[in-house]
Chains A and B, each alone.
Chain A
Amino acid sequence: MIVAIIYLVLIVVSILLTVQSAHVLYLMLYTWDRADAERQARAPDEFLPPQISFSVLLPARHEEDVIQSTIERVVRANYPAELLEVFVICSQDDDGTIKKAEEKIDDLKRKGLHNVRVVVFDDKPINKPHGLNTALPHTANQVVTIFDAEDDIHPEIFSLVNTVMVQEKVKVVQAGVQLMNFESNWYSTLNVLEYFFWFKSRLHYHAHYGSIPLGGNTVFFARELLLRLGGWDDRNLTEDADMGLRISAMGERVRVVYDDRYVTKEETPPTLGHFIRQRTRWSQGFMQTLKKGTWKKMPTRKQRWLAFYVLAFPRGQALLGIYLPISLGMILILKVPVLIALCSYLPVLLLAAHFLVQAVGLYEFTGAHGLEASPKAIVRMAIAWFPFQMVLAYAALRAMRREMLGRHDWEKTQHVGAHRATTEEAESRVG
């Protein structure tokens, strides 16, 4: 009897996992699968003359080393200075960054540029959404955008967004963010590819069905929309995903542009510890957002389901982490009947498909960015594959534990300089 139940559970879980990973695979390939989606994802070939004015928010914490060059990159973007204003957002205790930013501002003033300011906040909580909320009332331009301090932005990004917003009359644009250093450590290739598939493909699917968790930077909002929404949720660990779902719930269309030429370039977290902490924060943020229930307010069932699916994913990942070793053990120890064993291998087959797609994706990624993928990188990816999945599952489990214990603080991480970067990354600046 117990054996029969174990078999049943094995089969049901295997089939569910297979369906789920087949669906994820489909989302990863969504843009390539549909010629029209691919066409739409691309940036326009010609840009319209500048028309829209932008307010750029630069939240920074302990970014003394890079803040000056970041400011420089933004103001030197190929867009008229009178249509740009920049706010460097710091908490009051971060003297170093404030000093460096002010130095830069003085320097720019001497060169005739007067459109950069520092906004300082002294109240709690000290985190990115709170900083953004502090700066929002100071903005005056039509569109508000966010960049992280170490982002390598493309000089044409404003022209691109200007064109898209004018031509398509959209109020929210998410442009591509891409990790680049695919060869710097054992997990970086897989991390880079996660970004690649997420921004290049999957986000388009979410945008198409009106249920999209936004990224943390290179995202552009009409200012009046942000004001109507009352800014960001400063208690949420992934305020950006939450913002995306709130916007979706309003029925507002989000345009995603991923054009390899114009992506904002970033780098993977420098150490495994950073990577795990970052991933824990995302997972926990998704759990918070799920609990908060914004997704329930979406108009259609499909939208609600899609939002639920994304937000519940970390929990699934945690369960998968527990399930995989157990199922493997059972197959080996229990000597299950051949048919049941075949059925329980289905998820393994899908994992192989995922790996294959990632390997091809690496060539797509490097091809698009003028880099070169080597068979060595593929081998390294193959070796790193399983540990990477286990690290993700571990982070998800860790997030679950923190959520259960009610620990919603931002994990302090050491400041590590310029190689900090992810879409929703913020802990180093608030640590």
Chain B
Amino acid sequence: MSDNPTPSRPAAADAEGRNTPADKNTAAGKGTAAGNGTTADNGTAPDNGTTAENGTTAENGTAAGKGAEAPARRPRRRRPRFSVERGWFPPLGTKGKIALVVSLLTGLLTHGYHLFRYPLYLTDEGIYMQRAWSLVRETSLSPYTYDYDHAPLGWITLAGWVYPLPKQFETFGNAINTGRFLMLLVHVASVYLLFEITRRLSGSVLAATVTSFLFNVSPIAVYFQRQVLLDNLMILWLLLSLFMLLRREITIRSVFGGGLALGIALITKENAVFFVPSFMYLLYRRVKGSASSRFTSTLWPFAAATPIGAYVTYALLKNELLPSGFDFDLNNPPADHVSLLYTLWWQLNRNQGTLFSHTGLLQTSWLVRDKFLLIAGVCAMVMCLWIGTRDRRRNLGFLIAGTLAFGYAFYLVRGSVVLDFYVTPLIPMFALNIGMITDRLLKGSFANRFMRGAHSLTRVAVPSFVAILLLVSPASGYLVHTNTEGRTQIADQYQSKINLTGMQHAQIAWVRKHVPPNSRIIMDDDLWGELHDVRPFYPYAHSHWNASSDPDVRDKLFRKRWQNVDYIIMSNKMRKSMMTNNSDGRENWILQALRNSTRVWSDTQGNIKLEIYRVQ
């Protein structure tokens, strides 16, 4: 049992502030890079790899062949030339194909096995599924008042996934399971993209393999990436966007597609904005000097702005862009209607950073889940930044990898509100940096044949050894861990004896058996789908978040009186978040209901406790 109870707040503030531009040195970069334009013998890239890149590669190939014959000195070296800037990526090859397939299968296994049992259904998973439900059943962005806390594309995607399924939300048992299955597919697609991105940024299959291993197997990755989170969907779009900028031949279409994917990522989860500077720099380096550079460099931002424009237009059409009377007073929220810009302003001004304190998430959650990835990730990021800035021309891949991780890490440590799952987008970026640095550290060229053999053996042996160490060491929690009784056992995420969500199923089963459907219930959002989409429906079951803040629920149904509550479906997580959410006393009447109630059901496993109270 190692499921940390963590407070989570639905109105999450995570699009704020600005990153230091990673490309502020571009002018200097131009100077150094300009020189290499002259040797351009288009596309020595001997790549006929996986992605279809039309006939031109073949043509380039022959041209390059001619060019290479000219000096006619000693036999040509077999090593393929590599340049991120010009899209000269080595071919995937047989070894690469094997590594890719193994990575995809590993991802399927680590994320698919036990998917519906671990981890516990989280409040936020419930919220996103609840909103997808509202889209499918009510054609509205939320069953409650949508207050622009997040851009809606994430749950629009979830709704799009659920809608054509045979039993819709119950296809995989319940709403959250159905969402989690999509997360599995998203993960596998992300593995492919991350593998190829790493390979193209580093020119090495080894780097791609190491990255994919961590992205697949790290317990923190498994924990968060199995959950129905907007961040997981956002990462898929973000990786797709990056991948589009790393195609062999950069075309206007691919750049446009990449911009569009970035825009989609941004209205899936706004924190994608912290990756944008790296993307801009990569685009700049890739299109510089090409015949179409004027078009690509204007159409990319245009494409990225398109989805955002749709979001803003939506608010505008609903007359919800600006608060009434341009009143941005944070102490006095507008009462008559919600407003996109007001919410954004409010989020930008939230400051309660406690990331590094003893009780902060870093200590209590993230490091507990995977020390190795986080510590090695930070080190690798620093090294990537150092290598990348030392020679921007040759080490573009390192610079991009380093700044991607840095931009997002900056957002996390900057001292605003951080929720447990905010770490999710950092996982692939740290994996990427570790992969690139592993490859770099194990690089070497030897004239001696014996040494060459030994070196290539080392390149495989060292990472394999570390991987095995991570898998067998109980301290890592990758495959095994030490339980509370000091015994070594299979880690929770794969432990067949553990069924965390089973407790929640039992809770629901009790409700169905003993609680009449017209009861007025306070609960947490993770049960929402179960009670609103499975017959008999419980139309008066609402989360404590909405009961304490949404005027419709608070003032019309419960009228802020504890006597109007019939049941409270409770978890220790929910109890804690009610406390933290009660700084202004908004949950008082619910807590009072709790004090005037009797416990009618409970179950406990490790540090998780679920209860049901009947209010007198």
Contact A357 B55 (CB under 8 A): no
**Is B27 an interface residue, CB under 8 A from the partner?**
no
Q: Decide yes or no: A338 and B251 within 8 Å by CB, A35-B291, A360-B294 being known contacts.
A: no
What is the bound-complex CA distance between A363 and B294, given in angstroms?
8
Q: Decide yes or no: A342 and B314 within 8 Å by CB, A33-B251, A349-B306, A356-B302 being known contacts.
A: yes
Would you give the 0/1 interface string for A329-369, flagging 1 where the beta carbon is closer than 8 Å to chain B? 00000000010011001000100110011011001100000
What is the bound-complex CA distance between A356 and B294, given in angstroms?
11
The A-contacting residues of B in range 232-253, CB under 8 angstroms, are 249, 251-253
Contact A356 B291 (CB under 8 A): no
For B, the interface residue count at a CB cutoff of 8 angstroms equals 22
Cross-chain contact of B302 among A35, A36, A353 (Cβ < 8 A): A353
Cross-chain contact of A360 among B295, B310, B317 (Cβ < 8 A): B295
- Taking each of A32, A38, A341, A357, which has the highest tally of chain B beta carbons within 10 Å of its own beta carbon? A32
Q: Smallest distance from the beta carbon of A359 to chain B beta carbons, Å?
A: 8
Chain A positions within 8 Å of B313 at CB level: 342, 345
Contact B310 A342 (CB under 8 A): yes
Contact B317 A349 (CB under 8 A): no
Chain B residue nearest to A341 (CB atoms) is B317
**Is B488 an interface residue, CB under 8 A from the partner?**
no
Chain B residue nearest to A42 (CB atoms) is B291
Would you give the 0/1 interface string for B282-312, flagging 1 where the beta carbon is closer than 8 Å to chain A? 0000000001101100110010001001100
Chain A residue nearest to B318 (CB atoms) is A338
Q: Decide yes or no: A36 and B291 within 8 Å by CB, A353-B299, A356-B298 being known contacts.
A: no
Q: Decide yes or no: A32 and B317 within 8 Å by CB, A342-B310, A349-B306, A356-B299 being known contacts.
A: no
What is the bound-complex CA distance between A364 and B298, given in angstroms?
13
What is the bound-complex CA distance between A349 and B59, given in angstroms?
37
Chain B residue nearest to A357 (CB atoms) is B295
Chain B positions within 8 Å of A338 at CB level: 314, 317-318
Q: Smallest distance from the beta carbon of A41 to chain B beta carbons, Å?
A: 10
Chain B positions within 8 Å of A345 at CB level: 313
**Is A34 an interface residue, CB under 8 A from the partner?**
yes
What is the bound-complex CA distance between A26 and B251, given in angstroms?
12
Q: Decide yes or no: A364 and B294 within 8 Å by CB, A36-B56, A353-B302 being known contacts.
A: yes
Q: Chain A interface residue count: which class?
A: 20 to 34
Chain B positions within 8 Å of A356 at CB level: 298-299, 302
Chain B positions within 8 Å of A349 at CB level: 306, 309
**Is A207 an interface residue, CB under 8 A from the partner?**
no
Cross-chain contact of B249 among A35, A363, A364 (Cβ < 8 A): A35
**Is A226 an interface residue, CB under 8 A from the partner?**
no
What is the bound-complex CA distance between A68 and B34, given in angstroms?
49
What is the bound-complex CA distance between A363 and B309, given in angstroms?
26
Q: Decide yes or no: A36 and B294 within 8 Å by CB, A342-B310, A345-B313 being known contacts.
A: no
Chain A residue nearest to B42 (CB atoms) is A35
What is the bound-complex CA distance between A357 and B292, given in angstroms?
11
What is the bound-complex CA distance between A243 and B310, given in angstroms?
45
Cross-chain contact of A29 among B54, B249, B295, B310 (Cβ < 8 A): B295
Chain A positions within 8 Å of B249 at CB level: 35
The B-contacting residues of A in range 1-50, CB under 8 angstroms, are 26, 29, 32-36, 38
The A-contacting residues of B in range 5-56, CB under 8 angstroms, are 54-56
Chain B positions within 8 Å of A363 at CB level: 294
What is the bound-complex CA distance between A292 and B599, given in angstroms?
86
What is the bound-complex CA distance between A231 and B302, given in angstroms?
47
Contact A32 B291 (CB under 8 A): yes
Chain B positions within 8 Å of A33 at CB level: 251-253, 292
Chain A residue nearest to B311 (CB atoms) is A342
Chain B positions within 8 Å of A38 at CB level: 291-292
Chain A positions within 8 Å of B253 at CB level: 26, 33
- Taking each of A38, A353, A363, which has the highest tally of chain B beta carbons within 10 Å of its own beta carbon? A353
Chain B positions within 8 Å of A353 at CB level: 299, 302
Contact B59 A357 (CB under 8 A): no
Q: Smallest distance from the beta carbon of A357 to chain B beta carbons, Å?
A: 7
Chain B residue nearest to A36 (CB atoms) is B56
Q: Decide yes or no: A29 and B56 within 8 Å by CB, A35-B291, A338-B317, A357-B299 being known contacts.
A: no
What is the bound-complex CA distance between A36 and B251, given in angstroms?
11
Chain A residue nearest to B296 (CB atoms) is A32
Chain A residue nearest to B249 (CB atoms) is A35
Would you give the 0/1 interface string for B337-373, flagging 1 where the beta carbon is closer than 8 Å to chain A? 0000000000000000000000000000000000000
- Taking each of B56, B295, B302, which has the highest tally of chain A beta carbons within 10 Å of its own beta carbon? B295
Q: Smallest distance from the beta carbon of A243 to chain B beta carbons, Å?
A: 30
The A-contacting residues of B in range 220-267, CB under 8 angstroms, are 249, 251-253
- Taking each of B249, B252, B314, which has the highest tally of chain A beta carbons within 10 Å of its own beta carbon? B252
What is the bound-complex CA distance between A33 and B59, given in angstroms?
17
What is the bound-complex CA distance between A26 and B299, given in angstroms?
12
Ordered by A's residue number, 8 sampled pairs between the chains whose C-beta atoms are within 8 Å are A29-B292, A33-B251, A33-B253, A35-B56, A36-B56, A342-B310, A356-B299, A363-B294
Q: Known contacts A342-B313, A342-B317; can you find 9 more A-B pairs with CB under 8 A?
A: A32-B295, A33-B292, A35-B291, A36-B56, A38-B291, A338-B314, A356-B302, A359-B298, A364-B295
Closest CB pairs A-B (n = 6):
A32-B292, A33-B252, A36-B56, A338-B317, A360-B294, A33-B251
